[in-house]
Amino acid sequence: GAVVSQHPSRVICKSGTSVKIECRSLDFQATTMFWYRQFPKQSLMLMATSNEGSKATYEQGVEKDKFLINHASLTLSTLTVTSAHPEDSSFYICSARDLDRSDQPQHFGDGTRLSIL
């Protein structure tokens, strides 16, 4: 089945550091990838839709200068949390949709636990 790999799985760093998270579709191509944020016992909140070769579409209330998204190829999207602060600590999850099967649901990575000290 379709596999999405997300790296790193966990990051602990000091306030002010920028952190890059990678999301790769391993056995399919994805023109669109999605970035979510999840707080404990809360639902997944869509942050942005990452489009290959074009600018990402951000949801209302998500700062595009804070959360930089790059989707340089059909198999890779990156999310960079710039100058991270403790309030950015959360569980970040990416997902991707199979290019050739648009009637299928998304495939998720295993998430990145970000802890800012």
Strands (E), 3-98: 4-7, 10-13, 19-25, 32-38, 45-51, 57-58, 67-73, 76-81, 90-96
CB of 20: closest distance to another protein in angstroms? 18
Q: Which amino acid is at 112?
A: T
Residues 41, 112: Cα–Cα separation, whole Å: 16
- Among residues 28, 34, 35, 67, the one that binds another protein under rule CB under 8 A: 34
Nearer to another protein, 42 or 73 (CB): 42
The one among 15, 42, 73, 115 contacting another protein by CB under 8 A:
42
Binding site for another protein (CB under 8 A): 4, 6, 34, 41-44, 46, 49, 91, 93, 95, 97, 102-111, 113
